[in-house]
Structure 1
Amino acid sequence: MELVHELALFEKAPEEVTVSLEEFEEAGFGANPVWKAFVAEHNGVVVAFALYYVRYSTWKGRRLYLEDLIVTEEYRGKGIGKLLFDRLFQEVRELEFSGMVWQVLDWNEPAIKFYQKYGAAIDAGWLNASLSKEQVAKL
């Protein structure tokens, strides 16, 4: 959760993290996990993770959806992000998914440059849409 909060602060939205530690753990390690992750540790402390889940596209089939790739600031620039990204590619191949998708903020130039090194297509044609739990309750 510390890394989740660090990412939210970096993305200028710390107030947006509303998930509890209990919900986070249940969703990943409970009876019906909905996400998986690869982590990088240093001296027994998680310093980076790549959290993903399976997304289904009616056009493309099963795809790995990368929800978050975060390397704590102190460990950036040491190749950890590349190791995690490469592990995600291996997962896509092993599970025979049709590909991998994710989002990146348009102002996050270091991340965009990192993804472009891999030849990733950055699509500016889509806008994010969402409804909160409270909004859905009112519908």
Structure 2
Amino acid sequence: MNLNIRVATADDCPRLLVLIHELAEYERAPQEVTVTLDEFIDAGFGINPIWKAFVAELDEKIVGFALFYTRYSTWKGNRLYLEDFIVTEECRGTGIGKILFEKVIDESRSGNYNGMVWQVLDWNEPAINFYNKYNAHLESGWLNAGFSKEQVNQF
């Protein structure tokens, strides 16, 4: 297996967006992906980049990525927030996800972070089982809340 884990570049963004759509399909919410390629590139590589990602390349093709950013908690301080973590379906079970996830853990450990957080859908048993192998703390009792751009504009 010719695997390379590296920091994402702006040139990777079209492929990352394809994988984001694949993840949204898997999570039964394809209509929720509304970010444009230009917005995505600007958010990661513009004047004020807000996200960073590691990509997993297999034979020079990106087959997975982990996108993260700093989240500030008034209770815990700086936390690395893992926004998206995906390995393409055909590459799952090969160990690529483990290597990629542990790269993010290393980033959390070596950076200015007081921990690492992420979300997982309660029905996503394969992901839950994966995180349980790391003895991750899976919280209950919290509901996600938010506004769409259209809702914000109504105020």
State if a TM-score over 0.5 links the two structures: yes
- Relative CO higher for 1 or 2, CA cutoff 8 Å, sep ≥ 6? 2
Report the CA distance between 1:89 and its aligned residue.
1.1
Q: 2:44 is matched with which residue?
A: 28
Q: How does 1:49-128 map to 2 (within 5 A)?
A: 49-128=65-144
Amino acid at match of 2:41: E
**RMSD across aligned positions (CA):** 0.7
**Equivalent-residue separation in structure 1 for 2:59 and 2:99 (angstroms):** 17
Provide TM-score, normalisation by structure 2.
0.88
Q: 2:32 is matched with which residue?
A: 16
Gapped runs of 5+ residues in structure 1? none
Report the CA distance between 1:43 and its aligned residue.
2.4
**Equivalent-residue separation in structure 1 for 2:32 and 2:135 (angstroms):** 31
**Equivalent-residue separation in structure 1 for 2:122 and 2:101 (angstroms):** 20
Query: How many residues get paired?
Result: 139
**Equivalent-residue separation in structure 2 for 1:2 and 1:43 (angstroms):** 18
4+ runs deviating over 6 angstroms = none
**Equivalent-residue separation in structure 1 for 2:148 and 2:25 (angstroms):** 20
